[in-house]
Structure formats: C-alpha cells, structure tokens
Amino acid sequence: MIKNIETDLSNLANQNPKELSRLLTSPNTNIKILSVGVEILGGEVGDETLTLPVFKKLLKHINAVVREAAMIGVSAFYTNKTPPFEIIQQLQFMLEEDPSPNIKNYASALLEDFDKPQIIYSQSNQLTE
C-alpha cells in the first residue's frame, strides 16, 4: 500500500509539482500522505516557490512523524545550498523546544550540516566554496 502512495506522489511531483505542493498544504491531508509527500517533494521538486511554503507549514505540524519527514525533505532539497533564514530559525526552535528528543537530535544535525561551508567541485574540477 505505501509503495503505491510513494509511486503516486512521485508521479505527481514530476508531472504536476504545483498540485503536490497544494495537496501538502491542504488542511485535511492525512499524515501518511503528508509524511511521504514532503520527503518526495524535497527530493524531486526543484522549485523553491513550491517547496518552501510546504516546508514552513509541515516543520510546525502537530505530528512528530510529519515534522521529521519535513526535515528529511528540507535536507534533500537544500543539499549543497543554504536554506532560507526562516527554515534555519524553525530548526533552531525545534532544537530548543520540540517535545520529541528524536526531532531535537535531527534538528541539531541539520543545523550543524547547514552551518558548514558548502564545498563542491566545479566543472573544471577545482574546489569552490
């Protein structure tokens, strides 16, 4: 069952990412769709205008599973780039105030990763920062 949801949401991310973003910010979307969908959104959709509103909303979700999935989506989306200040700010809040120790630990790890300089190889194989 979960595999079908993953496939459907992945297809939606590739064919109509705007609709996936809308679905994930709709008030009555169930926990399973939110948690699987936000991970897929972060990994497969490259448009920050579609991902950022979802991340901002789901990082504050009442359900810890959804918050954790949102952090996974954030991590995937912001690989090799720095997230906006409001995402960093929310992760800092989660580190300090979230009731879940797992969420606090993951927020700490993400903040540490985002604080490191992003070193990547350019096309000419020279290190760039």
Percent of the chain with pLDDT over 70: 88
Q: What is the DSSP letter of 127?
A: E
Instruction: Compute the distance between CA of residue 54 and CA of residue 70 in angstroms, rounded to an integer.
Output: 8
pLDDT in tens, 69-83: 999 999 999 998 999
pLDDT in tens, 96-118: 999 999 999 999 999 999 886 55
pLDDT at 124: 44
Query: 71 near 63, Cβ under 8 Å?
Result: no
Name the strand (E) or helix (H) holding 128. Answer: strand 127-128
Instruction: Compute the distance between CA of residue 41 and CA of residue 57 in angstroms, rounded to an integer.
Output: 13
Residue 102 CB-half CA count within 13 A = 9
pLDDT at 120: 45
pTM given for the model:
0.87
pLDDT in tens, 20-49: 999 999 999 999 999 999 999 999 999 999
Q: Is the pLDDT of residue 50 over 70?
A: yes
- For the four alpha carbons of 61, 67, 69 and 75, in that order, the dihedral sign comes to positive
